Amino acid sequence: MEKPLVGIIMGSDSDLPVMQEAAKILEEFGIDFELTIVSAHRTPERMFDYAKNCDKRGIEVIIAGAGGAAHLPGMVASITPLPVIGVPVKTSSLEGMDSLLSIVQMPPGVPVATVAINNAKNAGILAAEILGIKYPEIKKKVAEYKEKMKKEVEEKAARMENIGYREYLKEREVNN
């Protein structure tokens, strides 16, 4: 692996099924990343060390996923000068609203960009967009990705308009 540009961290290995989506989209864009567990509550020294030193290792953006109290993104953002993207992970008790509110309610001076509950894919895309400011090849890949999405929607719209919504729904049921 080249020097990673993105650090993907999570409070627990139970967050990995959600956070893998950030890894997958970064792989699609060809962006090197590292992925590890850093618990704000169970390993605060590890969290502090990670946040304090990741920029010295070449990390330029951090994606931090956490559930429940979800302190990881905010605590990391309070230590590092790097942009932090928070991913609220859905919990069984409050459907992820606790995580979302914990991450978005940051005090002035400690911003955390926050995506929707369980939407690590968007966190990966946002990280790529941030990196695209500095790296033209990443910006180009993000633009191509968005153009591909646009074409897919246009093709679906044309198909639905051509065969009608009832037939389109039948086709979707067969294909799913």
Q: Give the residue numbers of the binding site for substrate.
A: 12, 15, 42
* Strand 84-89 relative to strand 33-37, pairing: unpaired
> Assign residue 67 a region: left if phi > 0, alpha if psi is -120 to 50, beta otherwise?
beta
Residue ranges for the known binding site are 12, 15, 42
